[in-house]
Amino acid sequence: MTALTALPAWQDTLKHAQRLQSIDLRAAFVSDPARAQRFRLKACGMLLDYSKNRIDDAALASLFDLARATGVETRRAALLGGERINTTENRAVLHTALRAPRDADIRVDGQNVVPEVHAVLDRMNAFAERVRSGEWLGHDGRAITDIVNIGIGGSDLGPVMACQALKDYGTPHIDLHFVSTVDGWQLADVLEGLDPATTLFIVASKTFTTQETLTNAKAARAWLVAAAGEAAVAKHFVAVSTNGPAVSAFGIDTANMFGFWDWVGGRYSLWSAIGLPILLYIGPDNFRALQAGARAMDEHFANAPLEQNLPVILALLGIFYINGMGASTQLISPYNQPLHRLPAYLQQLDMESNGKSVRLDGETVNYHTGPVIWGEPGINGQHAYYQLLHQGTELVPIDFIAAVANPKSPREHHLIMLANFLAQTEALMRGKNETEVRAELSAAGLSGDALEKLVPHKIFDGNRPTNTLLLDQLDPAGLGSLIALYEHKVFVQGVVWGINSYDQWGVELGKQLAKTIEADLRSPHSLTAHDASTQGLIDYVRKALKA
Ligand code: F6P
């Protein structure tokens, strides 16, 4: 593997980043009237304006050279063609096959996987129709009114995010609940007020070994059995997993199981049977539209030239800031309230994928990789942490996301929201210089010492980079395209950095140690040696538990 840092395109990119570190974006818009038009792109029902970035044509050209030099196009073909690009787990990575049309032919080891995908989707649709129509009955003959999804990580975040985002499309007669944490408060909170006879549990776990999920599922099963007896389980529990034997061993009939495959990564799984709660909530037609939106983005990603490719552009801009200008975080700022769980979802998607420091060839990287992803709905952010974004010392690239159409929000609210959305990107770019501050303070009647003291505090440097993503609509197709945009962005960054975006060994150590500490907490004395800090904490907790 050629060292990334030895590539001429990498070195050029870093030089451009150094040159553009102090670009005057306000002046760049004045001197180049075509800038805004040139650095914007419309595809898949969304407009990306990336002109408020610290870029110019030469910098972008070097970034596209970098993408080519690191093999983005070849790796893209390998991803979409079902090659085993997840080398440390020897798996293909085929979330795109989950939303492929019925007549597509996508092969893993010579076997077309699309017919199996559609067979499961057909079963999911039929099941969803029965539950939604009231034909699927609980143990005492009543229809289902509440669905509880028990899962964590990729078996929770995608469905939660999508169901929130598509609330307007949700069925009004079914309430959805999600239980992820093993802190028993959450399950207790959800179960309180539910009637076992009208509640359906989905136990969602790719591996069906995840301790948090199985602990919650066991408790939920016991709750049901206590109220309705063992025979009720078949009417009230379904499983979503790749692990049939573990589902049976748990006590769920595999006739009530919806399967998927090892080539679906947890954080890429909402398109698979893991999306069952979404399908139950928004119905088969809307779920198909969600998938169609993602498929449109897949096609765009596969076919558009790199220079006009939305995920590629987002990925390269991210690399420009992370590797060229020292940014270590990426803010996701959605302005539509239904997108409030998008940042949490993207945290797993991006950080579990690209939070790596070893390359595919086993060498340790000598450059930065995945950033810290964070965010909240943008308007709330404005009244909390945007101060730092405008005047702090950190460079924080931001994705501003909003839908232009928002039928649910009254026009008065929607206009104010969009005005704030646009104003923030303008303010972050243009800033406010000393001359403007002085003029403003004078106009407000200040002069002399009082004015001088305030001037430095009121200056905004500007040139803070933002992407503006305007969705035509926050509908199932629009959401599908948005999610796939970020999936592919993460892929492209992983390729450039030469890392495996599809394993997650970093989550293992904590899980292993939790097992030994759990045993220690259950016994009067620790069974395993720990460092002094951890041992002291174990002793403290053990004592508190006894008290
Ligand atoms: O611990 C991390 C992780 O393995 C994620 O990658 C995954 O999405 C989550 O746990 C849940 O895993 P499972 O679906 O197998 O329960």
Q: Would you call 340 a catalytic residue per the annotation?
A: no
Distance 254 CA to ligand 1 centre (A): 21
Check: CB of residue 156 under 8 Å from CB of residue 178: yes
Q: Is 154 in the pocket of ligand 1 (CB under 6 A)?
A: yes
266 Cα: distance to centroid of ligand 1 (angstroms): 6
For residue 406, the model assigns a pLDDT of 87
Question: Which atom of ligand 1 is found nearest the CA of 154?
Answer: 8
Q: Among this protein's residues, is 15 annotated catalytic?
A: no
Q: Which atom of ligand 1 is nearest to the CA of 511?
A: 1
Nearest to 178 by CA among 196, 163, 168, 193: 163
Contacts of 387 (CB under 8 A, 6+ apart): none
Per the CB < 8 A criterion, the answer to whether 52 and 465 are in contact is: yes
Separation CA 102–CA 451 (nearest Å): 69
Could you tell me which of 481, 78, 63, 73 has the C-alpha nearest to residue 313? 63
**How much is the CA Rg of the chain, to the nearest whole Å?**
26
The H or E element spanning position 217 is: helix 211-228
345 CA to centre of ligand 1 in angstroms:
13
Q: Tell me, what's the pLDDT at 94?
A: 98
**Do residues 487 and 301 make contact, with C-beta atoms less than 8 angstroms apart?**
no
For position 525, what pLDDT does the model report?
87
pLDDT at residue 535, rounded to an integer: 96
Told to judge if 307 belongs to the known catalytic residues of this protein, a careful annotator would answer no
Q: What is the pTM of this model?
A: 0.98
Structure tokens at 354: 């690209």
Instruction: Return d(Cα 214, Cα 182) in angstroms, integer.
Output: 9
Q: CA-to-CA distance for 385 and 408, rounded, in angstroms?
A: 27
| Catalytic choice (192, 383, 412, 457) | 383
**What local confidence, expressed as pLDDT, does residue 125 receive?**
98
Distance from residue 340's CA to the centre of ligand 1 (Å): 22
What's the CA gap between 209 and 296, in Å, rounded? 34
Atom of ligand 1 nearest to the CA of 213: 16
User: Per residue, what are the HEC states of 20-31?
Assistant: HCCCCHHHHHHH
Exactly one of 408, 413, 453, 511 is catalytic; name it.
511
Nearest CA to ligand 1 atom 6: 266
* Angle, vertex CA 391, rays to CA 385 and CA 393, nearest 5: 95
pLDDT tens track, the chain, 547 positions = 679 999 999 999 999 999 999 999 999 999 999 999 999 999 999 999 999 999 999 999 999 999 999 999 999 999 999 999 999 999 999 999 999 999 999 999 999 999 999 999 999 999 999 999 999 999 999 999 999 999 999 999 999 999 999 999 999 999 999 999 999 999 999 999 999 999 999 999 999 999 999 999 999 999 999 999 999 999 999 999 999 999 999 999 999 999 999 999 999 999 999 999 999 999 999 999 999 999 999 999 999 999 999 999 999 999 999 999 999 999 999 999 999 999 999 999 999 999 999 999 999 999 999 999 999 999 999 999 999 999 999 999 999 999 999 888 899 999 999 999 999 999 999 999 999 999 999 999 999 999 999 999 999 999 999 999 999 999 999 999 999 999 999 999 999 999 999 999 999 999 999 999 999 999 988 889 999 999 999 999 999 998 7
- Is the CB–ligand 1 distance for residue 507 below 6 Å? yes
Q: Which atom of ligand 1 is nearest to the CA of 267?
A: 8
Would you say the CB of residue 75 lies under 6 angstroms from ligand 1? no
Give residue 526's pLDDT.
84
Tell me if 353 CB under 6 Å of ligand 1.
Answer: no
What does the alpha-carbon distance between residue 443 and residue 437 come to, in Å, rounded to a whole number?
Answer: 10
Question: Which atom from ligand 1 is nearest to the alpha carbon of 155?
Answer: 14
Q: Is 341 left (phi over 0), alpha (psi -120 to 50) or beta?
A: alpha
**CA–CA separation, 512 and 42 (whole Å):** 47
Distance (angstroms) between ligand 1 centre and the Cα of 210 equals: 7
DSSP bridge pairs for 405 = 473
- 52, 236, 352, 489: which one is catalytic? 352
Question: What count of other Cβ atoms lies within 10 Å of the Cβ of residue 410?
Answer: 10
